[in-house]
Structure 1
Amino acid sequence: MPLLTPPVGNLPDTSLIIGDTRVSDSSGGTHPHLYAGNGALTSEVPMAGPVEVDRAVSAARAAQPGWERMPPPQRRKLLNAFADLIERDADLLTDLAIIDTGTPRVQAQRGGMVTAELFRYNAGWTDRLEGSVLPTWPAAALDYAVPRAYGVVAIIVPWNGPSISAGMTVAPALAAGNTVVLKPPELAPYAVLHLGKLALEAGIPPGVLNVIPGGPEGGNALVSHAGIDKVHFTGSGPTAQRILAAVIPHMTPVGLELGGKSASVVFDDIDTSIVPSLLHGIITLSGQGCINPTRLIVQDNIYEEFVAIATQTMAAIPMGDPNDVNTVMGPVVNDAACQRILGMIDRADSEGARLTTGGGRLGGELADGYFIEPTILADVDNSSYIAQNEVFGPVLSILRFSDEADAIAMANDSEFGLAGYVYTNNLKRAHRVADQLDVGNVWVNGFAGIPASAPFGGNKMSGVGRLGGKWGIEEFTRMRNVWVGL
């Protein structure tokens, strides 16, 4: 196989899925999808415009009453059948993730299995949604509250891990009885389009899940549509603010899972031999993850040793062809991302950060792809631009702290509040610090992923609402109170 050639033979049908119809001649035009490994065109992907959005919303509205009223065991059976097909096609979904964003195979191969597990877990909630019987006064009455689906939910997933994001959002939305209009990103449409095909193959009724890739025009038409009962968006803060403005005329409720500038607080009682394991923040997805720990706040006593080990480790990270099983870190998503990331590195340098490794774009046989060297910036000031803004690239900022109170203050000095990490062998300290971090998720001495049963979401500018577990189901239901006079 030639270097950096994606598995293009596995490209799915790129036409939109509206009900049980495939639409390729769309009013939103097309988007040229470029493979991040070499910048080559993979295909022209049809984009939904207002016409296709309206058709998709109509299909979802027509299907919603029957889907919600379907006996829960039957709805569970269909969602489990969907999960079976996702698991069956896990290898294909791996290939599609590589094509979508250049995700290295060693990371992409988790996507299908994790997505299947998310659908299996949420399928189990279809007959477990509970209400309450409430006390009444002064008259005799029966008062009860029951959870109901919102109706039609618009879900917009990001380009970094779109199939897993679909599992975290679409699965609970469908399990709760909603129908969905799902917009995958124009930068990474393939895996999510395949999920739409599998939903129909599993027997999920047409219109329950509609998949319409689109750009800003299609996205705005979707979130501002009068037929949408709730919006859930995963992505950047500026786009979220535009969505909030767009839903005002209809007062459509919105759930948001946004960015982060997550801090790892590293105390001096750890063994510095674990330093390489703390660097997944810039290795995983080339740093393009909202929960990636991209600020390392390290205690004085081990700071220089930590910086030296981290620098040596990063310089040895295997980069290259995402298709190669030996590649650990691949490209970033596109050329615009390269330019933005390099600009932020240059700014950090001008603001006094110490570049210890990386800082440039790779050349040679990787020059046509979107490869940025894994980069470490030491001696970063927590008030600097690089420390306060999401890079979304393979750039790690290392900061110094003196004591526990200092570390907590630095970690919380951010407009984001998605995730925090604590590394210490002192159990009391671990609990103390975890309790004081103003974030939605804390990991202590490691990162084991996000279980389907756990709540996930952020504080402050990192979003509104929670996904996962019963909280994820509640995100897509609303309570109805019924009072019956006796």
Structure 2
Amino acid sequence: MIEKRQFYINGAWVDPAASRDFPVIDPSTEEEVAVISLGDKADTDAAVAAANAAFETWSQTDPAERIAVVEKILEIYNARAEDMAQAMTTEMGAPLKLSREDQVGAGSYHIKNFIRAAKEFDFVRMLRPDAPNDRIILDPIGTVAMITPWNWPMNQVTLKVIPALLTGCTMVLKPSEIAPLSSILFTEILDEAGVPAGVYNMVNGDGVGVGSQLSAHPGVDMVSFTGSTRAGIAISKAAADTIKRVSLELGGKGANLVFADADEDAVRRGVAHMMENTGQSCNAPSRMLVERSIYDDAVEIARETAENTGVANAHDDGDHIGPLVSQMQWDKVQGLIQKGIDEGARLVAGGLGRPDGLNRGYFARPTVFADVTNDMTIAREEIFGPVLSMIPFDTEEEAVRIANDTVYGLTNYAQTQDPDRLRRMARKLRSGMIHLNGKSRSAGAPFGGIKQSGNSREGGAWGLEDFVEVKAVGGYPAE
């Protein structure tokens, strides 16, 4: 049993103000593997006070000094990559191969790209050449509360902690209480790297407790949150009384438009992307819209791909998906699969219950529904499980209308060999990100959505700008 009850406040590991043990469950086995403590208001207040006290000094450090600290973080992070992979596999059920290559890799990828962006980032800028005595100064916003989810732990932690460090902010991290082990390890890494006391603090807790306390705290200047849209709305309301900045990365219900001239791997690629991380990704292409002339063939390919998707214990090596993160998540996914059946969608693969041979663990069957209409619950709600909804369309205009008919706007996808159509899709699809023909975004491109998918952009220079205030200065001495 791993015991990690302490919090990291003002450069030291400290005991919680009150004992509130919380078990960490391995979703592959349903066994308790660790215990943490949930913080209360005294812990939150202590962490915020430490961050506030450290801000005056850290905010005035040379950007090169902050870059050097982050470079040290990257060095230690890479050295502890296997420990990090094991932690995430244990806490949230990512298969070892996915943990090693993608879950851990997401963290190192973001740290490296933020270092590059910071080296090119001007904190003091001229307004225009004809205004030699005007400057735009980008100041760190202050103390940032960071509330991160369980599905891609290091992806989200590094997207918040690293740009905040580089811009001169101080912070309090509240990772998901379901998957805290990787963030505890990350905290050990920052401590070893020499991050000054008070600059970075970590308090474990739940959303109702520490999460709500941070959101409303008068000593917090900004809340950066990744998670459900429901929680994002609650955080925004809690933060309103103190007019703090709220940066939100929320849910999604991505549409993947497959036209008749798509490449032969388009459907398989879309199903595989949907099933990755057991469907627990906000940018998953969970609605596959298929041109009617190839629809029947696409449904068959999707069925075959889903049925050939392996499901196994996350601690086993190999190419397979693991369990859902928790009993609560398993119950939610099962309920939505049942809803799809009840509302008349055609179940072509998977369905209710666990896969054959897996009687323990939060495992779900890779599931495909065909003949879905966009008013069905499974087409409207974010399922966050390995469930794909397939919808036929007749015209490009209809496809775009269906794709955009959602409260979400995170990521959309389009598959066609027509360059003009690709350009139209890039313009007409309403989301913060578009992937064309399986091509992802390059390093430094911003991650973020519109509508109820959020209001911020993370990654690269945009991620740095998220943590600064703009100061306009007149009469600045020319150099």
Aligned partner of 1:131 in structure 2 is 124
**Residues 146 and 334 from structure 1, CA distance in 2 versus in 1: closer, same or farther, beyond 3 angstroms?**
same
CA distance in 1, matches of 2:405, 2:221: 35
Tell whether 2:237 aligns with 1:252. no
Tell whether 2:416 aligns with 1:429. no
Structure 2 length as normaliser, TM-score?
Answer: 0.95
- Residue 149 of structure 1: which of 112, 119, 140 is its match? 140
Alpha-carbon distance, 1:23 to partner: 2.6
Alpha-carbon distance, 1:65 to partner: 1.8
Aligned partner of 2:226 in structure 1 is 234
Matched residue type, 1:72: P
Aligned partner of 1:357 in structure 2 is 349
Matched residue type, 1:175: L
Tell whether 2:316 aligns with 1:321. no
Matched residue type, 2:453: S
Matched residue type, 2:451: K
CA distance in 2, matches of 1:28, 1:468: 37
Aligned partner of 2:170 in structure 1 is 179
**Aligned residues of 1:417 and 1:440 also touching (Cα < 8 A):** yes
Residues 110-144 of structure 1 show CA distances to partners (whole Å, capped at 9, x for unaligned) of 2223312312222344452243444799xx99432
Q: 1:18-417 residue pairs with structure 2 within 5 A?
A: 18-27=9-18, 29-109=20-100, 110-126=102-118, 128-134=121-127, 142-215=133-206, 216-362=208-354, 365-417=357-409
Runs of 4+ in 1 over 6 A off after TM superposition: none
CA distance in 1, matches of 2:150, 2:409: 21
Alpha-carbon distance, 1:42 to partner: 1.0
SS in 2 for 1:33: strand
In structure 1, list runs of 5 or more residues that go unmatched. Answer: 1-7
**Aligned residues of 1:375 and 1:395 also touching (Cα < 8 A):** yes
**Aligned residues of 2:266 and 2:415 also touching (Cα < 8 A):** no
Matched residue type, 2:330: C
Residues 183-219 of structure 1 show CA distances to partners (whole Å, capped at 9, x for unaligned) of 1001100111111111010111121111111102111
**Residues 68 and 304 from structure 1, CA distance in 2 versus in 1: closer, same or farther, beyond 3 angstroms?**
same
**Aligned residues of 2:251 and 2:282 also touching (Cα < 8 A):** yes
SS in 1 for 2:300: helix
Alpha-carbon distance, 1:368 to partner: 1.9
**Aligned residues of 1:50 and 1:222 also touching (Cα < 8 A):** no
Matched residue type, 1:301: S
CA distance in 2, matches of 1:312, 1:401: 22
**Aligned residues of 1:224 and 1:246 also touching (Cα < 8 A):** yes
Alpha-carbon distance, 1:19 to partner: 1.8
Identity of aligned residues (%): 32
CA distance in 1, matches of 2:327, 2:224: 28
Matched residue type, 1:282: M
Alpha-carbon distance, 1:474 to partner: 0.7
SS in 2 for 1:64: helix
- Residue 434 of structure 2: which of 439, 442, 445 is its match? 442
CA distance in 2, matches of 1:255, 1:111: 23
Residues 387-416 of structure 1 show CA distances to partners (whole Å, capped at 9, x for unaligned) of 011000110000000111111011000000
Tell whether 2:455 aligns with 1:464. yes
Structure 1 length as normaliser, TM-score?
Answer: 0.93
**Residues 435 and 339 from structure 1, CA distance in 2 versus in 1: closer, same or farther, beyond 3 angstroms?**
same
CA distance in 2, matches of 1:485, 1:180: 31
CA distance in 2, matches of 1:447, 1:370: 32
**Residues 373 and 447 from structure 1, CA distance in 2 versus in 1: closer, same or farther, beyond 3 angstroms?**
farther
**Aligned residues of 2:139 and 2:470 also touching (Cα < 8 A):** yes
In structure 2, list runs of 5 or more residues that go unmatched. Answer: none
**Residues 435 and 135 from structure 1, CA distance in 2 versus in 1: closer, same or farther, beyond 3 angstroms?**
closer
Residues 359-405 of structure 1 show CA distances to partners (whole Å, capped at 9, x for unaligned) of 12216652220011011110001111110110001100000001111
CA distance in 2, matches of 1:119, 1:12: 28
SS in 2 for 1:69: coil
Aligned length: 474
CA distance in 1, matches of 2:5, 2:422: 48
CA distance in 2, matches of 1:382, 1:344: 15
**Residues 355 and 53 from structure 1, CA distance in 2 versus in 1: closer, same or farther, beyond 3 angstroms?**
same
**Residues 88 and 14 from structure 1, CA distance in 2 versus in 1: closer, same or farther, beyond 3 angstroms?**
farther
Alpha-carbon distance, 1:309 to partner: 1.2
